[in-house]
Structures are given as C-alpha cells and as structure tokens.
Structure 1
C-alpha cells in the first residue's frame, strides 16, 4: 500500500493529535529525549532547512531569525513538553503576490508541531512526527516522519520522509483560510525522502550537510529569483556563550543565508541561586529552666505584650518583603496574616515568616498559623508546629511539607488585631514602558516606548483605587484604522474611520478589537486604566471582586466576579459579568456609542506537572457566544507559557481570516533575569491575527490569579524554596 493512500493519511492525521495528548499526560519516561544542537531556518531543531527527530531541553523558549535570498523567517519556538515542540513563524516570502497582485512578496504566519515518539536506545534511533505550517495559508505546508541516530560521539545522521513542501510539492495557497487547520492536506500528495548529517567539528562549531526536496518553486516561478542550483544544502553553526548561535549556510551552493538563534531555558537563570539575602536562621527555644515564665505563658496576661511583639515581628517581616496585616496571639498559638510583596513562590514567603516567628515569639507558643492574603482576602492557612520548624530547618523541604497542614482560611476571625497604621496605604512607581506589535504585513514590527506612572491607594483591606498614566517618548506606532473591506492591504485613515459610524462594523460584527490601532500613536498623555476595585470574601472558599472605572485602554465600565476555590482542591469555578462601553480613541475620559454586556462561566483545573487548564464559556465583546480553552505551564521559578483557542457562533465569513481565535501567552518574572526577588512580571500575548470574534475585556486582578499562589498545587510546586 503506498504511503500516501487515503487510509494511511487518515491514520496519521488522527494519530498525531492523540499521541500528543497522551504524551502530555504521561509520566516520566525511561530515557531522555534526544536534544538538538542546531536550530534550522524554520526555528526547530534540525539541519539547514530539514527537520530532525531532536527536541530542545524541556521548557526552552527560543527564537531564530533566518535570512536568505528567497525568504526571511522570524521564528519563536517553545518546548511545551519533553517530547512536544511548537513553533510560531512570521515570514517574508519572495515571489508571491497577495490578493491585489501587488508587492512581489507576502508576510506569512504559520504554526508547527513536532512530537518525538521514540527515544534513541541501542540500535534504535529517535523518531518524531511533525506538522509544518498546519494552520496557515499553506506556503510552507508539509508533514514528516523522521529518525535521527548518533553514529559516533561527533556524528549524527537523520533520515526522513516528507509530504507537501518537505516532499517537494507546493500546495494551493488560501489567503482567506489562513489560520485555519488545513487537515485535508495533511500527509497528502507524494512522499519523498530527505536527510542530513551533523558533525561536531569542535566544542563550538557544528557542520551540517543535508538533502532537501524543496526547490523553492513558488518563490522563483515569477522569474525574479532563480532556484537553488541543486538540492544539497550546507551549513556551519557557531555556538557562543550559553544558548546563542550564529549560522551561515548555502542552498544548493549558489544561494546564501545567515541566521541568529537564541534559546532561553527557565532552569538556566542568569543568577541560578538568586541575589536575595539569606534568611534569618531559626532560633531554637531555650530550655524551660532558663525561661520558666516564658514557657509558662504568663506573659499572655500582659495587655502590652501583643502590641510589642506585633510591632517587632512586623518590622522584621517588612525587611523580608512581607506585610504583617493582622495577628492573633495566645499563650500557645500565633496566627499571622501576611501579604507577600517580594517572592515569586509563596512557599518562600511562608518559610521566611516561620523563621522570623521562631525568633520573635515567646517559647510557650508552639503552634504557628501563617495565613496568606491577597488584596485583603485570606487565601489559605498553613499550620506548623514550632518544634517541627526547629527540628527540620536543615533538612530538605519535603519533610516540613509532610508535617504542615494546609487549610482554608477563616475570612474574619474575631481575635485578629490589625497592625496599627497599616491602612490606608499609598504606593507609586515611575518607570519605562514598551509596547510591541507584530504580524502586520504593512508594519511587521511596531513599537512605542515612554514613561509610565503607576499608583494605588488602598483605603482598607480589599478596597483599592489604582491607575496609570503614560507619556509616549518615541516609536513607530501610528494611529490607523482597520482594513477596508474588499481592499486587502488598504486601511481607513483615522479621519475616514470616525467619519462614518458604519465603518465600526464588518459583516454585521462590531469592531471590538480590529480597530485597536486607533488607540495607538497618541502623543498626549494616555490613561490605560483607572479603577476602583473591591475584593471581598463571603466565606472561606468564596471570593468576590467588583471593579469599576476605565478597565483597559479600549473599554470602561463595571466588572463583577465570584470564584469558588478550596485551598486543597486542584479545581475551581468562577463567574464573571461585565457591562462596558467603548472608550474614545484619543480623549481619555470620553466614550463612544458601543456598549455591551459580557459574561463568562470559568472552570479551572490544575493538571499536575505544572499544567493548568481553563475553560471559559459565555458571551464575548462582539456579542458572540462560545468557549475558550487554554493550557498554561508554569515552572518553579515563575516562567509561564500557554496557548489558547476560542471558537464562537460567528460564521467563518463573519469572523474573517482564520475562522477562530488562537494564540500564545508568555509571562517571565523579572527576578529570573535580575536575580533580585520581585513579583513583577513581563507578559505578552502573541496571536496570529487581530479579530473581533472571541474577544474578552482585559480586566486586571482577576480572582483565580489572586488566590492560586497560596493554594495546594501551586504552593506545593514551589515548596522547594521553603527554606530559601
């Protein structure tokens, strides 16, 4: 039976997604995946252009810029799982005109997935199956099965079979369906072999030779460029420092290219041990004979004792970045309520608090209860015996975890005494900001930089007024209207767009996000958000939020949310309702006519191995109804990488190119790069297209993110830092 028969094609098409899901849920394997040493021009471990069966170290986030005479490829790659590699690509492809038969090139978006289903073991090679450009216009569309084997310690060989572009076929382009899975094309057409050899010439230099089926027929058919002279490609790659690589290569001996690659692994921080100061050591209690009064607990009858102890402990905690909000103290038990403002892992904040309690409290206090708070809400309580803290200080963190008790926190205990003069609190920060825009064919890379002033005023526990003001300093982001229907590549000027209210709808769908560029390019000060938020806790497992004001740059109004979450449970359920109105494009405190009510029911589940799944079902900004599914992975040092997809009741025609919304989210803690402890993050969302379907209101301070840090799965995932 030929490999490209309909039966084999259907089996391969069905097996690949299933195998990826099974791999994600699988436990540790008997051997490690084969790790690649060269990133190819498509951004994945490979030869010069062809794929291999290699992977990257688990969790690696990488990027590659590759330029040759026929294409420029900008690739973002992430090792989603030890066996699953994904890539997002934005390429300038020469020799192809768009709908208007203009330009002589296109800017194309594409996604790749690779699954390494076999490890190298003995005589057996590592093997992988992959999809290239499986959700794009089809420019680079292709599939492959590939095997890689170490022949000697310095020589690695790859042999594979490819379909589509990897098999030398150029599939039909579909500009209208870009961003939609082209399932019918998977493993279709003729299958042809490809292969490569990689030789480790020195510790830093890798030499690669490969046989490729890609003759660049589409890029050269217009006659502006000539095809490579043959199908043998050669490359040399120099690795310098940690994770940086520079490559020079030739396609067919007469086309030349260069590329630069960088690979960042969350586990390889610039400052692996951090730069935070060492915590104060546990202070063992003196013998009862040395302090009989302290051990007897008579001090608890003194009305001046708790204020003095609370003041002393609060000052010590402040030095560790912990805010002592309230305290309850008796002869043998102490509960403290702390707000962690410094450490990315709540376990580190709890561990340092326990050490300081051992130093500040009289010896009769045996029970420590450390309650974590967020925006005035008590999110969990960790109960420890003081004798365990003293006994286990110099052991591994798992031993103290085994004797700690995690429970839901009482939201309003009668015996808690608030720290004097703790409220109201005012905080502010002045610093730079940077906005980046990508994936626009007319402006592939847009940016804007300037100064941002952020401030908050907390009137009482959970009642917070906060906002930001920005002043642009430089950048090439300019105000621009959305695309003109039927005129691909043409956009409304700002004046044209606001002159006719009908322009704010496309195919009957309100432009809730596709006119986002109308909010850019302001040279006057802007107000991204200005809100009053009230967080409350009706019970130990129910949390609530009400936020009013300018919720985000494009919308203002009111947002309400409730969340049910037990401290020891891996799942949660939330409900959110928003009533919002579209903000003016230039004037910060004025609004446009569009107004809508949105609502979501959200389900959260911590899958283990640092994965969190979320399902949102409800009504979106454009009035469409549907669901969003997202999967996020978080590492112990705070890195988060995720992917999401949204499908609503909009038809393909109403939604536009892509048919559904999808993208990648990335959040990197500032402490990873600086080494200094901080809860600040640099976050971004990368989506292939800006569409109106499936759009949500961007409300800051949603409840799940507020409470999960101090609860079971997330807390214990970071428990290794308890004694840091």
Structure 2
C-alpha cells in the first residue's frame, strides 16, 4: 500500500485542526525522551522551545540512556546532539554508545483555526539506529491542552503503519560502516506510521501527557532487550525550578523511566543590568568656557589635561595608550581589556573625556586598538554627548561615525611608559575526553600559570605552563588506528605524563598593512601538539558584513611529554606535511547569525572545506556548529566519516554580572580523528579585530551608556 506525499500535510492538519481553539505561541520548556522540545514522551510535536533556549535532557529506563543537548537556533528551527547508550544491543559491545544529530523545522505557525506544522529529521547524521523522519501538527485547545498528531518514517514508521512511500534500506549493524554520514536516499521513505497524543497542564508546575507511539523498538526487540504490550505511553512532568523539569514515564506498558531537563537562555541575564560600578555622569560645559583656548599653548596645562584623562579612564579600568590634544579636538587611543562589549568601553571613554578635557574641545575621536594596532576610529561631537546622555542609545549611535583608523589618519601619539605591559594569571582547568566506548567521560584537572607581555607596536609574547593535579586521561588504552598521518588521534599519548608541560610559548607581531588590511605572524610553541610559524592576512573593512583572510603555517609535531622537544614528522600511518593553510571567508548575516568558510590544506595533508555557522548574542554567548569534508574517504577517515561538531562560548561576565573578557569555549566533537584537523593558533586576526569594528560594536550598542 502506498500513500501520496501531497496528501500528508492535509491529513495531519485535519487530525489536529478540527478543534478551532484560539491560537497560542506553542512554545514549551519541556522536552521528550529524545531531548527535543515537546510535551509528549517519545513522539515529537510541532512545539518549539523559547528562541535561543539551550537545554540538556537526560532520559533513562532500564538499560537505555540518552543525553541530549538541544538549541533553539531560530524561532522556527531546533538543532540537537545526542549521546545514547543501550545495554546488550549488539554482541560486540556491553553497551552500544551512539552519537546522533537532529533538526526540526516549523513550516507553519498555529493560527486560530489551524495547527502548527513541523517537519523533523532524527539521527540524520549518525549510525541511523535512532533514525526517523516525521511531519507533525500540534494545536492548542484553550490554555492548558495541546493535541498532537503526526506521520513518521524509520523508527516512527515501525508501528501502526497506514501505508508506505518508496523503498527504505532497513537499519542493521552490518550496514553502519563508519557511521556519521547522511543517508538522504532514505529520508521520508518506507512504512508510514501514525502517532498522536496530548499534554495537559494540571497546574502551573504539573503536566500530564499521553501518547500513541508509532515506534515499535524493532532493533531492540530483535536483540531481546525490549518488550511491548501496548503502544500507549504516559508521563507526569514536574517543574521543580524555572527551566528545570523532572519527569516519570511508562513506556509501552513494560518500562518505567525518568528524565531530567535543565535549560538556560543566553538571551537573558542571571544578573540583570550587571554588577559593575555605575559610569561617571557626563559633564556639561559652561557655554562661555568653550571659547577659552588658552590651555592649548601651555605645555604644563596640556600635561595636566593628559594626566587627568588618564586617571579618569583608569577609574573604569580603561587604558589610555595614545593621545593627541588640539584646541578644538582630542584624538584618544584606548585598548580595552576589561569590558567584553566594546560599546560599553567606548561609552565610558567619551564620558571621561567630557570630564577631563577642556571645554573648548568639541570633537572627540576615539581610536580602538587591538594587540597594539589601530582597528577603527569612532568620532562624536561633544555637544551630542552632552545632549544625548539621558536619551535612547540609538540616538547616540546615529551621532557616531565609524572609520578605518588608517583611512581616518590623525592617529594619536603614544603615551610614554605604557609599554611593555604585563599580565598573568593562575587558575585550575579541565582537559576532557568524551565518547570513549570504554569510558564515555574522562578528564584531568590541572593547574595553569599563564602570562602575556605586550611589547608595543603590535608585538605580543604569550606563555603558559600547566601541571596535572588529578584525573584519568592517562588510563585510556585506545590508541590510534588511523590510516592517514596521525595529527590528532594520538591525543591520548599526550596525557600519559604527569610532569609539568609547556602549553604554549609564542611571539606574535600584529600590524596594519593598509586601510582595511591586517597582518599577523606568530612563531613558537603554538599549542599542545605543534610548534612552528603561522602567518595570516585579513581584509575587513570597518563597516563590512564580509571579511576575507588567508593563513599559511609551517609546523612540526611536539614531543608527547610536553617539553621543548620536537618529534620527527613521520608517523606509523604517514608523514605530517610541513605546510598547511587556508583561505577563509567570514560573513555576518545580521541578527547575530554568522558563517565562516575555510578552504585549503589541513594538518594531515588533506584538502577540503570547513563550513561553520554560529549564533551570537549581544552579551557574548555563541552557539554554533561546523563540518569539514576533505578528500579523505569515509573509510580512511574512520568512525564518524568526516569531522563535525558543535561549539559553545559562555562569557564569564554573563554568569557573574561583572565585566571581563574571559569567555571559555567548549568544542564537542563526536570523535577526534585526523581528517580535517587544523592547527590551533591563539589570536587569529578576525576574532582579534572584529570587536572593534562597526557591526560588532553596534550589535551591543545598548551598553553604550552603561
């Protein structure tokens, strides 16, 4: 029996749309067993999480576990990464661990008389053991009841079949191969299962759900680890804290399970407004005083003005590194190492200028420096600053002019005694290894001492050493079986020594090549695994959405013990090339969405392309994903087929409410293999200069007056 796809949307809509209830947003903080937004148990819904919500769901019943990270990429798009473990699913493993990715798209929003409709891909990038596709509709009935019906393929088409469409290759372990690939030929093909259910808010904290499942757990039943006496599942969810839910459920009349879901939203702030001291108020001039230019010809008076400005800026922890004063204009150079939002440093700088500069100075020109080089110059009229202090920040933005510093010219002169500048810190940190089948989570806790010296005119020296305190990374007995040069898969060997190690030791030179052009050269011990020389050039106009860069690296592998020694480039599976590099294109779509495409030669000598996509927030949060495809075949790459992963940057200032530029980034890869690997170089140009450019500064302009 077959069914036409053109009838599916209409059928699903009819099943849920007959209620004719008033429309809601169909937003939920609940997640199902697969960790995707929705109020049912196993089955999906057309509900979406609040925009930008980031949730973690842990679901468990006897022998089955799923841990899922989901992100609401846009109001209409959800992305999920899942790590699951199933006991005795296959004779090869006591516990079969699997990694998978999902996407869900909302096609239509709910209206007064029609349901929301969504389409989803489950485990579309993985082994396929959880693979399914679906079209689902959800309709609210009043404020407490939500009704769902849908059609599923794959796992979701294995029960209550109402027909079929095309031919689907059934899942089997022999056909998994290296896994991690996309099987488009299977999407929305095979048997079609009908599912449905409802969720009901018993109270503000308690939700009951009942569903009819179209998943018969075929693979698990064939393995003899799952029984099914009914297709009906039920759950009771309790919200024990804002964005925290605990749920108990009954599956197929045979299993009892629990799940825990915790969510945060990067758009919000745990400490609204921040805890930093209030800025100094703008000082409004006496109109008569503005005509007095006598100070401009008196060296002692000029020196006193410079000292006053430096001291006033220091109150807000802003470094005055360059200054030129004229009778009607001031040219100020600052290097912001405190505020994670450039707009806030800029706003506090112009406030300080109104208080420290003579009344005759009308034109403010602030040059933003990064690593000792000028990135952009922002100009204001002092009259506008005085007039707009208590107006909306958008009015101050309209009064600002951004220009490339070299194109603007008139660069301020160095303030004596500002370089060299030193900084250091000591802190504990963790090294983490994920998804080892023998031990899915291993980690070391270590102590790191790091320092930086800015020598002036773009010269920067960086160093870090660390020592392991405790952990179990050295207990891994899984070593590389790579078929290509072992550039990353020997990572476990770097964890075998407990002795102090040099994490990095580099000297970098940043410079402006011409208007819109930047350059960098870095040499030394670049990262834990490689030493060498890295060179880079970047084209980035100050007001542009697009940037283009190129990087060329010469590298040698470091000794496994982390000291100053270097290894031979020959590995068991091939020779690590001396040279690698990429051409890169960066694009800002607006609304916080950014893309990056890198094409070139990777560490193992493979050629290919990396595509990355990130959503960034005005408070510094970033959530993104990336994938790399090179000329290394899936068989030679090994398990996972190609490099991919997600990355999350969480600013410390968001958590504690105090300004700091510390923002650790977690990169989660299903596996670390050798194909598509790049050398890690701190201080690449795009991230170094972008915060001083117009688009990034404007994105957080709401903090200008803070």
TM interval, short-chain normalised: over 0.9
1:37-186 → structure 2 map (5 Å cutoff): 37-46=29-38, 47-97=40-90, 101-168=91-158, 171-173=171-173, 174-186=175-187
CA change 1:416–1:542 in 2 (3 A) is same
Deviation at 1:94, TM superposition (A): 2.7
Aligned partner of 1:684 among 651, 654, 666: 666
CA contact (8 A) 2:479 2:492 kept: no
Tell me what 1:244 maps to. 244
Tell me what 1:528 maps to. 503
Q: Secondary structure at the match of 1:528?
A: strand
Identify which range, 33-42 or 563-572, moves more after superposition. Answer: 33-42
CA change 1:461–1:216 in 2 (3 A) is same
CA change 1:479–1:318 in 2 (3 A) is farther
Deviation at 1:656, TM superposition (A): 2.0
- The yes-or-no answer on 1:617 pairing with 2:617 is no
- Using the alignment, how far apart are the partners of 1:480 and 1:549 within structure 2? 29
Per-residue CA deviations over 1:162-219 (Å, capped at 9, x if unaligned) read 0111112763343324110111111111101111211101111111111112222322
Deviation at 1:350, TM superposition (A): 0.6
- The yes-or-no answer on 1:672 pairing with 2:662 is no
- Using the alignment, how far apart are the partners of 1:590 and 1:431 within structure 2? 26
Deviation at 1:420, TM superposition (A): 2.5
Tell me what 2:393 maps to. 397
Q: Secondary structure at the match of 2:436?
A: coil
- The yes-or-no answer on 1:449 pairing with 2:445 is yes
- Using the alignment, how far apart are the partners of 2:493 and 2:588 within structure 1? 38
Q: Secondary structure at the match of 2:439?
A: coil
CA change 1:651–1:364 in 2 (3 A) is same
- Using the alignment, how far apart are the partners of 1:411 and 1:33 within structure 2? 49
CA change 1:660–1:446 in 2 (3 A) is same
Tell me what 1:253 maps to. 253
- Using the alignment, how far apart are the partners of 1:650 and 1:394 within structure 2? 59
- Using the alignment, how far apart are the partners of 1:541 and 1:103 within structure 2? 56
Deviation at 1:520, TM superposition (A): 1.8
TM-score, structure 1 normalization: 0.90
CA contact (8 A) 1:32 1:119 kept: no
RMSD: 2.0
Tell me what 1:491 maps to. none
CA contact (8 A) 1:33 1:82 kept: no
Identify which range, 460-469 or 573-582, moves more after superposition. Answer: 460-469
CA contact (8 A) 2:512 2:518 kept: yes
Residue segments in structure 2 that go unaligned for 5+ positions in a row: 10-22, 160-169, 570-576
Q: Secondary structure at the match of 1:190?
A: strand
Aligned partner of 2:305 among 289, 301, 309: 309
1:365-380 → structure 2 map (5 Å cutoff): 365-380=361-376
- Using the alignment, how far apart are the partners of 1:342 and 1:460 within structure 2? 19
- Using the alignment, how far apart are the partners of 1:324 and 1:649 within structure 2? 50
Q: Secondary structure at the match of 2:111?
A: coil
Tell me what 2:189 maps to. 188
Deviation at 1:235, TM superposition (A): 0.8
- Using the alignment, how far apart are the partners of 1:342 and 1:277 within structure 2? 13
- Using the alignment, how far apart are the partners of 1:666 and 1:415 within structure 2? 37
Residue segments in structure 1 that go unaligned for 5+ positions in a row: 12-30, 486-505
Deviation at 1:341, TM superposition (A): 1.3
- Using the alignment, how far apart are the partners of 1:415 and 1:632 within structure 2? 34
CA change 1:352–1:685 in 2 (3 A) is same
Per-residue CA deviations over 1:216-253 (Å, capped at 9, x if unaligned) read 23223233x34132111111111122211111111123
Deviation at 1:655, TM superposition (A): 1.7
- The yes-or-no answer on 1:362 pairing with 2:358 is yes
CA contact (8 A) 2:178 2:635 kept: no
Tell me what 2:329 maps to. 333
Tell me what 2:14 maps to. none
Tell me what 1:475 maps to. 471
- The yes-or-no answer on 1:711 pairing with 2:697 is no
- Using the alignment, how far apart are the partners of 1:243 and 1:133 within structure 2? 25
Tell me what 1:638 maps to. 620
- Using the alignment, how far apart are the partners of 2:222 and 2:79 within structure 1? 30
Deviation at 1:721, TM superposition (A): 1.1
Deviation at 1:482, TM superposition (A): 5.0
CA contact (8 A) 1:95 1:220 kept: no
Deviation at 1:32, TM superposition (A): 8.5
Tell me what 1:282 maps to. 282
Aligned partner of 1:582 among 536, 557, 564: 557
- Using the alignment, how far apart are the partners of 1:37 and 1:553 within structure 2? 40
Q: Secondary structure at the match of 1:95?
A: strand
Deviation at 1:34, TM superposition (A): 2.3
Q: Secondary structure at the match of 1:524?
A: coil
**How many residue pairs align between the two structures?**
675
- Using the alignment, how far apart are the partners of 1:515 and 1:412 within structure 2? 50
Identify which range, 409-418 or 600-609, moves more after superposition. Answer: 409-418
Q: Secondary structure at the match of 1:452?
A: strand
TM-score, structure 2 normalization: 0.92
Deviation at 1:321, TM superposition (A): 2.3
- Using the alignment, how far apart are the partners of 2:568 and 2:377 within structure 1? 47
Tell me what 1:18 maps to. none
CA contact (8 A) 1:295 1:362 kept: no
CA change 1:659–1:319 in 2 (3 A) is same
Q: Secondary structure at the match of 1:356?
A: helix
Aligned partner of 1:563 among 538, 559, 567: 538
Per-residue CA deviations over 1:99-145 (Å, capped at 9, x if unaligned) read xx333431000000000111111011111000000011111000000
- Using the alignment, how far apart are the partners of 1:517 and 1:568 within structure 2? 44
CA contact (8 A) 1:176 1:658 kept: no
Identify which range, 648-657 or 83-92, moves more after superposition. Answer: 648-657
Deviation at 1:620, TM superposition (A): 0.5
Tell me what 2:13 maps to. none
Deviation at 1:8, TM superposition (A): 9.6
Per-residue CA deviations over 1:263-285 (Å, capped at 9, x if unaligned) read 11012221021111110010100
